Protein backbone atom coordinates (compact mmCIF):
# COMPACT_ATOMS: atom_id res chain seq x y z
CA UNK A 1 0.00 0.00 0.00
CA UNK A 2 1.18 3.54 -0.67
CA UNK A 3 2.32 5.96 1.99
CA UNK A 4 -1.01 7.79 2.02
CA UNK A 5 -3.07 5.83 4.53
CA UNK A 6 -6.33 6.00 2.62
CA UNK A 7 -6.83 4.31 -0.72
CA UNK A 8 -8.26 6.56 -3.44
CA UNK A 9 -11.98 5.93 -3.86
CA UNK A 10 -11.49 4.94 -7.50
CA UNK A 11 -9.19 2.08 -6.43
CA UNK A 12 -11.77 0.55 -4.09
CA UNK A 13 -14.03 -2.31 -5.18
CA UNK A 14 -17.68 -1.13 -5.08
CA UNK A 15 -20.13 -3.33 -3.16
CA UNK A 16 -23.93 -3.51 -3.39
CA UNK A 17 -25.96 -5.22 -0.67
CA UNK A 18 -29.05 -6.81 -2.20
CA UNK A 19 -31.80 -7.61 0.25
CA UNK A 20 -35.51 -8.37 0.24
CA UNK A 21 -37.89 -10.76 1.95
CA UNK A 22 -38.27 -14.45 1.01
CA UNK A 23 -39.80 -14.82 -2.45
CA UNK A 24 -39.43 -11.14 -3.43
CA UNK A 25 -37.42 -11.97 -6.55
CA UNK A 26 -33.77 -11.57 -5.49
CA UNK A 27 -32.76 -14.95 -6.87
CA UNK A 28 -34.40 -14.28 -10.26
CA UNK A 29 -32.43 -11.07 -10.41
CA UNK A 30 -29.16 -12.75 -9.39
CA UNK A 31 -29.56 -15.59 -11.91
CA UNK A 32 -29.87 -12.92 -14.57
CA UNK A 33 -26.76 -11.10 -13.37
CA UNK A 34 -24.81 -14.35 -13.31
CA UNK A 35 -25.76 -15.44 -16.81
CA UNK A 36 -26.62 -12.37 -18.91
CA UNK A 37 -24.04 -10.69 -21.11
CA UNK A 38 -24.02 -7.25 -19.53
CA UNK A 39 -20.28 -6.66 -19.84
CA UNK A 40 -19.77 -6.22 -16.09
CA UNK A 41 -17.48 -8.59 -14.20
CA UNK A 42 -19.32 -9.08 -10.92
CA UNK A 43 -18.62 -11.32 -7.95
CA UNK A 44 -21.94 -12.33 -6.40
CA UNK A 45 -21.70 -13.46 -2.78
CA UNK A 46 -24.58 -15.55 -1.54
CA UNK A 47 -24.60 -14.95 2.19
CA UNK A 48 -27.02 -17.77 2.74
CA UNK A 49 -28.07 -20.04 5.56
CA UNK A 50 -29.81 -22.92 3.86
CA UNK A 51 -32.24 -20.67 1.97
CA UNK A 52 -32.98 -21.81 -1.57
CA UNK A 53 -30.83 -19.62 -3.76
CA UNK A 54 -28.76 -19.43 -6.90
CA UNK A 55 -26.27 -21.89 -5.46
CA UNK A 56 -28.77 -24.77 -5.47
CA UNK A 57 -28.80 -24.64 -9.25
CA UNK A 58 -25.19 -24.04 -10.07
CA UNK A 59 -22.87 -24.56 -7.14
CA UNK A 60 -21.22 -27.74 -5.96
CA UNK A 61 -21.92 -28.26 -2.29
CA UNK A 62 -18.97 -30.27 -1.08
CA UNK A 63 -17.05 -27.51 0.74
CA UNK A 64 -17.74 -24.69 3.16
CA UNK A 65 -17.27 -22.38 0.27
CA UNK A 66 -17.27 -22.58 -3.44
CA UNK A 67 -16.31 -20.04 -6.07
CA UNK A 68 -17.62 -20.77 -9.54
CA UNK A 69 -16.74 -18.76 -12.63
CA UNK A 70 -19.72 -18.18 -14.90
CA UNK A 71 -19.61 -18.12 -18.69
CA UNK A 72 -20.14 -14.34 -18.74
CA UNK A 73 -17.09 -13.72 -16.56
CA UNK A 74 -19.05 -13.26 -13.33
CA UNK A 75 -18.20 -15.20 -10.18
CA UNK A 76 -20.56 -16.77 -7.70
CA UNK A 77 -19.51 -17.66 -4.17
CA UNK A 78 -21.50 -19.08 -1.31
CA UNK A 79 -20.55 -18.01 2.19
CA UNK A 80 -21.50 -20.18 5.07
CA UNK A 81 -19.05 -18.58 7.42
CA UNK A 82 -17.45 -15.23 7.83
CA UNK A 83 -18.19 -12.53 5.28
CA UNK A 84 -15.02 -10.63 6.21
CA UNK A 85 -12.94 -13.69 5.38
CA UNK A 86 -14.47 -14.25 1.93
CA UNK A 87 -14.18 -10.54 1.06
CA UNK A 88 -10.52 -10.58 2.11
CA UNK A 89 -9.97 -13.76 0.12
CA UNK A 90 -11.62 -12.32 -3.01
CA UNK A 91 -9.59 -9.08 -2.98
CA UNK A 92 -6.37 -11.03 -2.37
CA UNK A 93 -7.06 -13.30 -5.37
CA UNK A 94 -7.93 -10.23 -7.45
CA UNK A 95 -4.61 -8.56 -6.54
CA UNK A 96 -2.73 -11.77 -7.38
CA UNK A 97 -4.48 -11.89 -10.76
CA UNK A 98 -6.16 -15.24 -9.97
CA UNK A 99 -9.68 -13.78 -10.21
CA UNK A 100 -11.01 -10.98 -12.37
CA UNK A 101 -13.98 -8.93 -11.17
CA UNK A 102 -14.83 -5.25 -10.93
CA UNK A 103 -17.49 -5.18 -8.25
CA UNK A 104 -19.32 -7.26 -5.65
CA UNK A 105 -23.01 -7.87 -4.98
CA UNK A 106 -23.84 -9.48 -1.63
CA UNK A 107 -27.20 -11.18 -1.38
CA UNK A 108 -28.37 -11.38 2.23
CA UNK A 109 -30.75 -14.11 3.26
CA UNK A 110 -34.42 -13.09 3.07
CA UNK A 111 -34.69 -13.27 6.85
CA UNK A 112 -31.71 -11.03 7.55
CA UNK A 113 -31.42 -7.52 8.85
CA UNK A 114 -28.91 -5.90 6.41
CA UNK A 115 -27.54 -3.61 9.16
CA UNK A 116 -24.69 -5.85 10.38
CA UNK A 117 -23.59 -6.54 6.78
CA UNK A 118 -23.43 -2.77 6.12
CA UNK A 119 -21.55 -2.21 9.40
CA UNK A 120 -18.83 -4.65 8.30
CA UNK A 121 -17.65 -2.02 5.80
CA UNK A 122 -17.21 0.57 8.55
CA UNK A 123 -15.81 -1.60 11.31
CA UNK A 124 -13.24 -3.84 9.67
CA UNK A 125 -10.21 -1.81 8.63
CA UNK A 126 -8.97 -4.34 6.08
CA UNK A 127 -12.36 -4.35 4.36
CA UNK A 128 -12.71 -0.56 4.62
CA UNK A 129 -9.35 -0.11 2.85
CA UNK A 130 -10.28 -2.38 -0.07
CA UNK A 131 -14.01 -2.00 -0.61
CA UNK A 132 -16.45 0.87 -1.06
CA UNK A 133 -19.98 0.26 0.20
CA UNK A 134 -22.14 1.65 -2.59
CA UNK A 135 -25.74 1.02 -1.55
CA UNK A 136 -28.36 -1.22 -0.02
CA UNK A 137 -30.92 -2.25 -2.67
CA UNK A 138 -34.14 -3.86 -1.40
CA UNK A 139 -36.54 -5.90 -3.54
CA UNK A 140 -40.18 -5.64 -2.38
CA UNK A 141 -42.83 -8.02 -3.72
CA UNK A 142 -45.87 -5.84 -4.51
CA UNK A 143 -48.31 -8.77 -4.34
CA UNK A 144 -47.44 -9.87 -0.80
CA UNK A 145 -45.78 -6.73 0.58
CA UNK A 146 -48.54 -5.49 2.89
CA UNK A 147 -48.87 -8.76 4.77
CA UNK A 148 -45.10 -9.29 4.85
CA UNK A 149 -44.51 -5.78 6.23
CA UNK A 150 -47.31 -6.21 8.78
CA UNK A 151 -45.99 -9.56 10.01
CA UNK A 152 -42.19 -9.37 9.80
CA UNK A 153 -39.86 -6.99 11.55
CA UNK A 154 -36.98 -8.00 9.21
CA UNK A 155 -38.98 -6.94 6.14
CA UNK A 156 -39.63 -3.50 7.69
CA UNK A 157 -35.93 -3.13 8.53
CA UNK A 158 -34.94 -4.08 4.97
CA UNK A 159 -37.09 -1.18 3.72
CA UNK A 160 -35.64 1.18 6.34
CA UNK A 161 -32.07 0.41 5.29
CA UNK A 162 -32.66 0.80 1.55
CA UNK A 163 -31.02 3.37 -0.69
CA UNK A 164 -33.15 2.06 -3.55
CA UNK A 165 -36.33 -0.05 -3.54
CA UNK A 166 -37.18 -2.30 -6.50
CA UNK A 167 -40.88 -3.19 -6.65
CA UNK A 168 -41.38 -6.64 -8.17
CA UNK A 169 -44.63 -8.35 -9.29
CA UNK A 170 -46.43 -5.01 -9.82
CA UNK A 171 -48.12 -6.61 -12.85
CA UNK A 172 -49.97 -9.00 -10.51
CA UNK A 173 -51.82 -6.28 -8.58
CA UNK A 174 -53.94 -3.30 -9.58
CA UNK A 175 -52.55 0.23 -9.79
CA UNK A 176 -54.38 1.46 -6.68
CA UNK A 177 -52.69 -1.21 -4.59
CA UNK A 178 -49.26 -0.37 -6.03
CA UNK A 179 -49.83 3.35 -5.35
CA UNK A 180 -50.83 2.61 -1.75
CA UNK A 181 -47.69 0.49 -1.31
CA UNK A 182 -45.47 3.22 -2.80
CA UNK A 183 -47.00 5.64 -0.29
CA UNK A 184 -46.45 3.27 2.62
CA UNK A 185 -42.81 2.65 1.68
CA UNK A 186 -42.26 6.39 1.26
CA UNK A 187 -43.49 7.05 4.81
CA UNK A 188 -41.09 4.38 6.07
CA UNK A 189 -38.14 5.57 4.00
CA UNK A 190 -38.30 8.83 2.01
CA UNK A 191 -34.60 8.58 1.07
CA UNK A 192 -34.93 5.52 -1.15
CA UNK A 193 -35.88 5.97 -4.78
CA UNK A 194 -38.52 3.43 -5.82
CA UNK A 195 -38.46 1.66 -9.20
CA UNK A 196 -40.80 -0.95 -10.66
CA UNK A 197 -39.18 -4.07 -12.10
CA UNK A 198 -40.76 -6.95 -14.01
CA UNK A 199 -39.85 -10.54 -13.08
CA UNK A 200 -36.60 -9.41 -11.51
CA UNK A 201 -35.62 -7.85 -14.82
CA UNK A 202 -34.11 -4.71 -13.37
CA UNK A 203 -31.70 -2.93 -15.65
CA UNK A 204 -28.36 -3.70 -14.05
CA UNK A 205 -27.74 0.06 -13.84
CA UNK A 206 -30.59 0.27 -11.31
CA UNK A 207 -28.46 -1.71 -8.88
CA UNK A 208 -25.04 -0.17 -9.37
CA UNK A 209 -23.21 3.08 -8.56
CA UNK A 210 -26.02 4.59 -6.50
CA UNK A 211 -23.52 5.95 -3.95
CA UNK A 212 -26.02 5.83 -1.12
CA UNK A 213 -23.18 5.70 1.39
CA UNK A 214 -21.13 8.48 -0.18
CA UNK A 215 -20.82 11.33 2.30
CA UNK A 216 -20.52 13.88 -0.47
CA UNK A 217 -23.64 12.74 -2.30
CA UNK A 218 -26.58 15.11 -1.98
CA UNK A 219 -29.25 14.21 0.51
CA UNK A 220 -32.29 13.54 -1.64
CA UNK A 221 -35.61 13.02 0.09
CA UNK A 222 -38.70 12.17 -1.92
CA UNK A 223 -40.55 15.54 -2.08
CA UNK A 224 -43.89 13.69 -2.03
CA UNK A 225 -43.03 12.49 1.46
CA UNK A 226 -43.95 15.87 2.94
CA UNK A 227 -47.20 16.17 0.99
CA UNK A 228 -49.16 13.39 2.63
CA UNK A 229 -49.71 12.45 6.26
CA UNK A 230 -52.11 9.71 5.31
CA UNK A 231 -51.35 6.66 7.48
CA UNK A 232 -53.22 3.41 7.27
CA UNK A 233 -50.45 1.30 8.71
CA UNK A 234 -48.95 1.47 12.13
CA UNK A 235 -45.42 0.58 11.04
CA UNK A 236 -42.77 0.65 13.73
CA UNK A 237 -40.20 1.62 11.08
CA UNK A 238 -40.89 5.26 10.29
CA UNK A 239 -38.97 8.30 9.20
CA UNK A 240 -39.00 12.01 9.69
CA UNK A 241 -37.26 14.88 7.97
CA UNK A 242 -36.06 17.96 9.84
CA UNK A 243 -35.25 21.21 8.03
CA UNK A 244 -34.12 24.58 9.34
CA UNK A 245 -32.40 27.50 7.58
CA UNK A 246 -30.83 28.88 10.79
CA UNK A 247 -27.14 28.15 11.35
CA UNK A 248 -26.28 25.44 13.86
CA UNK A 249 -23.51 25.26 16.43
CA UNK A 250 -20.97 22.52 15.73
CA UNK A 251 -20.19 21.52 19.36
CA UNK A 252 -23.87 21.31 20.25
CA UNK A 253 -24.83 19.22 17.24
CA UNK A 254 -21.92 16.81 17.80
CA UNK A 255 -22.89 16.35 21.45
CA UNK A 256 -26.57 15.92 20.64
CA UNK A 257 -26.03 13.40 17.85
CA UNK A 258 -23.61 11.26 19.84
CA UNK A 259 -26.09 11.25 22.75
CA UNK A 260 -28.93 10.17 20.45
CA UNK A 261 -26.80 7.45 18.85
CA UNK A 262 -25.75 6.13 22.28
CA UNK A 263 -29.36 5.97 23.45
CA UNK A 264 -31.23 5.04 20.27
CA UNK A 265 -28.51 3.63 17.97
CA UNK A 266 -29.93 0.13 17.82
CA UNK A 267 -33.30 1.53 16.75
CA UNK A 268 -31.83 4.00 14.22
CA UNK A 269 -31.52 2.14 10.93
CA UNK A 270 -30.20 4.94 8.71
CA UNK A 271 -29.74 8.63 9.25
CA UNK A 272 -28.15 11.28 7.10
CA UNK A 273 -27.90 15.04 7.09
CA UNK A 274 -26.52 18.13 5.41
CA UNK A 275 -25.79 20.78 8.02
CA UNK A 276 -25.53 24.54 7.85
CA UNK A 277 -22.87 25.23 10.50
CA UNK A 278 -22.30 28.73 11.84
CA UNK A 279 -19.12 30.32 10.45
CA UNK A 280 -18.44 27.37 8.11
CA UNK A 281 -18.06 28.10 4.38
CA UNK A 282 -18.77 24.44 3.56
CA UNK A 283 -21.76 22.26 4.32
CA UNK A 284 -21.13 19.48 6.82
CA UNK A 285 -22.38 16.03 5.88
CA UNK A 286 -22.93 13.14 8.25
CA UNK A 287 -24.56 9.74 8.07
CA UNK A 288 -24.83 6.61 10.10
CA UNK A 289 -26.04 3.04 10.44
CA UNK A 290 -27.11 2.01 13.95
CA UNK A 291 -24.33 3.06 16.36
CA UNK A 292 -21.77 3.97 13.71
CA UNK A 293 -21.68 7.55 12.47
CA UNK A 294 -19.29 9.40 10.18
CA UNK A 295 -19.04 12.98 8.99
CA UNK A 296 -16.99 15.18 6.71
CA UNK A 297 -17.06 18.65 5.14
CA UNK A 298 -18.93 18.75 1.83
CA UNK A 299 -19.09 21.28 -1.00
CA UNK A 300 -18.84 25.01 -0.20
CA UNK A 301 -22.11 26.94 -0.06
CA UNK A 302 -22.42 28.96 -3.25
CA UNK A 303 -22.92 32.74 -3.08
CA UNK A 304 -26.66 33.42 -3.00
CA UNK A 305 -27.50 29.76 -2.28
CA UNK A 306 -30.03 29.19 0.51
CA UNK A 307 -28.16 27.63 3.39
CA UNK A 308 -30.33 25.07 5.14
CA UNK A 309 -29.85 22.05 7.36
CA UNK A 310 -31.77 18.97 6.18
CA UNK A 311 -31.70 15.74 8.15
CA UNK A 312 -33.56 12.47 7.75
CA UNK A 313 -33.86 9.80 10.43
CA UNK A 314 -35.20 6.32 9.66
CA UNK A 315 -35.72 3.92 12.51
CA UNK A 316 -37.97 1.94 14.78
CA UNK A 317 -40.14 3.87 17.18
CA UNK A 318 -37.96 7.00 17.08
CA UNK A 319 -38.98 9.61 19.69
CA UNK A 320 -39.51 12.31 17.09
CA UNK A 321 -40.37 15.10 19.53
CA UNK A 322 -37.21 14.50 21.54
CA UNK A 323 -35.12 14.68 18.36
CA UNK A 324 -36.83 17.86 17.18
CA UNK A 325 -36.40 19.60 20.54
CA UNK A 326 -32.76 18.55 20.68
CA UNK A 327 -32.07 19.79 17.15
CA UNK A 328 -33.76 23.12 17.91
CA UNK A 329 -31.43 23.46 20.92
CA UNK A 330 -28.42 23.10 18.56
CA UNK A 331 -29.34 26.24 16.60
CA UNK A 332 -26.66 28.87 17.19
Query: Over 127-147, what HEC string results?
Result: HHCCEEEEEEEEEEECCCHHH
What per-residue confidence (pLDDT) applies to 275? 94
Note the CATH number of domain 9-206.
3.40.50.300
pLDDT at 6: 52
Q: DSSP assignment of 236-297, as one string?
A: SEEEEEEEE-S-B-HHHHHHHHHHHHHHHTTTEEEEEEEE-BTT-SEEEEEEEETTEEEEEE
| CA neighbor of 53 nearest in space, from 24, 90, 85, 14 | 24
Q: Residue-wise over 24-50: b if at least 16 C-beta within 10 A, else e?
A: bbbbbbbbebbeeebebebbbbbbbee
Percent of the chain predicted with pLDDT > 70:
87
Tell me whether domains 9-206 and 236-329 share a fold.
Answer: no
Quick one: pLDDT at residue 33? 82
Q: How far apart are CA 38 and CA 101, in angstroms?
A: 13
Domain regions of the chain by residue span: 9-206, 236-329
Query: Which range (19-28, 148-157, 314-323) has the least confidence?
Result: 19-28
The CATH number assigned to the domain with range 236-329 reads 3.30.1220.10
Residue that wins the pLDDT comparison between 38 and 237: 237
Check residue 37 and give its pLDDT: 81
More confident of the two residues 53 and 114: 114
| pLDDT tens digit sequence for 202-213 | 778 888 889 898
- β-strands 309-316, 268-275: how paired? antiparallel
Instruction: State the alpha helices, DSSP H only, in the chain.
Output: 26-35, 54-58, 83-95, 115-123, 125-128, 145-151, 153-161, 175-188, 250-264, 320-329
Report DSSP state, residue 305. Answer: P
79: pLDDT confidence band, cut at 50, 70 and 90? low
Q: What angle do CA 113, 286, 274 make, to 5 degrees?
A: 120
What residues have CB less than 8 Å from 321, skipping those under 6 apart? Answer: none
Measure the CA–CA gap between 162 and 137, rounded to whole angstroms. Answer: 5
74: pLDDT strictly greater than 80: no
Q: Above 90 in pLDDT, residue 84? A: no
Would you tell me how many other CB atoms lie within 10 Å of the CB of residue 147? 11
pLDDT given for residue 241 in this prediction: 92
Beta-strand relationship, 309-316 and 237-244: antiparallel
Cα-Cα-Cα-Cα torsion 74, 80, 82, 87, nearest 10 degrees, comes to 0
> Tell me: the pLDDT tens digits for 129-176?
999 999 999 999 999 899 999 988 889 999 999 999 999 988 899 999
Q: How far is CA 5 from the centre of its chain?
A: 26
Long-range CB pairs of 147-150 (<8 Å, 24+ gap) are 148/21, 149/184, 149/233, 149/235, 150/233
CA distance 258 to 276: 18
The answer to whether 139 and 195 have CB atoms below 8 angstroms apart is no
* Whole-number Å distance between alpha carbons of 317 and 306: 32
| Residue 281 main-chain phi, psi, to 5 deg | -75, -20
Are the beta carbons of 5 and 133 closer than 8 angstroms? no
Amino acid sequence: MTSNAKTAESDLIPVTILTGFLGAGKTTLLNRILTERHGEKIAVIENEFGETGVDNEILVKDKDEQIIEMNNGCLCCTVRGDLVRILGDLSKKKRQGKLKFDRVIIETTGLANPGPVAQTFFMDEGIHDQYLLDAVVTVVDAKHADKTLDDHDEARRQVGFADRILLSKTDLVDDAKVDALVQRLRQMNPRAQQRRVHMGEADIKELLDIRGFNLNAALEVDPQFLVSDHHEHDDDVTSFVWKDPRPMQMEKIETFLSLMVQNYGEELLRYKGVLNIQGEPRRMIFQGVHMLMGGSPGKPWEPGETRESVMVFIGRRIPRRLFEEGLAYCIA
